[in-house]
Amino acid sequence: MGIGADRPLIVINFKNYREAQGDGALRIAKAAEDVSRRTGVLVAVAPPQVTLMQVVRSVSIPVFAQHVDDVEPSSTTGFVPPESVSASGASGSIINHSEHRLPEDTVGRLVRRMRDLGLTSLVCASTPDEAARLARFSPDYIAIEPPELIGTGRAVSRVAPEVISRGVEAVHAVSPDVTVLCGAGIASGDDVRASIELGAMGVLVSSAIVRAPDPGAKVEEFARHASGVRGR
């Protein structure tokens, strides 16, 4: 179940950066919440797993887990079953991030399990072809992120715009209801605007916001550029 597929979405993946540990995760999440409230742009956050419930209880914007495992709630030490994400109160989870890849059949099972739990699935893909294959599982979102650009500040919307436009077309040819996001190297508001103009409905971003001197100001820059943009 999407959290706002009809309007631009900014998803901030905190990863495990030092800036997002402990109270840092709360500060960034609350800054994102403030920007979302003031601009009307939908902003979601994915804090480190150990702070997930704390962040959920502290903000009103959607909160995602960074990863989920295809295991049952049982003797599975260190794994994250979908039921744990649901019990935390989170809105959903990122699945198959390039830093935590999963087999495609596992992705499909997780999307189905999360759907049954009423959770939102945000599946990552490295290429338009992979995005099209994963679209057959009908996740709520697919974020296309060429791994070689992640964390570089070289936005895919600038250096490889055809990846976004081809990815959107490939996904919608398989499953028109899947919302496509853009990721990898997103560093500025202009990158966000370009991504939406190329057909994406938002961005999955990390270091540009989490490691910024003023994360709130960076979220606002992104939100202002996303607001009012009409995609293709």
Domains of the chain: 9-226 (3.20.20.70)
Say if residues 119 and 93 touch (Cβ distance below 8 Å). Answer: yes
Q: Which residue has the tokens 């060429």?
A: 146
Whole-angstrom distance, CA of residue 122 vs CA of residue 93 = 6
What pLDDT is attached to residue 231?
46
Whole-angstrom distance, CA of residue 135 vs CA of residue 125 = 10
* DSSP letter for each residue of 14-28: -TT-GGGSTHHHHHH
C-alpha angle with apex 123: 89 to 182, nearest 5 degrees?
Answer: 110
What pLDDT is attached to residue 232?
43
What pLDDT is attached to residue 150?
64
Helices and strands in the chain: count of H runs, count of E runs: 10, 8
5 CB-contact burial (10 Å; exposed 0-12 / middle 13-18 / buried 19+): middle
145 a catalytic residue: yes
Catalytic residue among 67, 97, 220, 221: 97
pLDDT by residue for the chain (232 residues), tens digit each? Answer: 567 657 899 999 999 999 999 999 999 999 999 999 999 999 999 999 999 999 999 999 999 999 999 999 999 999 999 999 999 999 999 999 999 999 999 999 999 999 999 999 999 999 999 999 999 999 999 999 887 766 666 667 777 788 889 999 999 999 999 999 998 788 999 999 999 999 999 999 999 999 999 999 999 999 999 986 544 4
What pLDDT is attached to residue 173?
98
Whole-angstrom distance, CA of residue 62 vs CA of residue 93 = 10
* Bridge partners, 143 (sequence order): 124, 181
Catalytic residue among 33, 130, 145, 220: 145
Binding site, by residue number, is 13-15, 150, 185
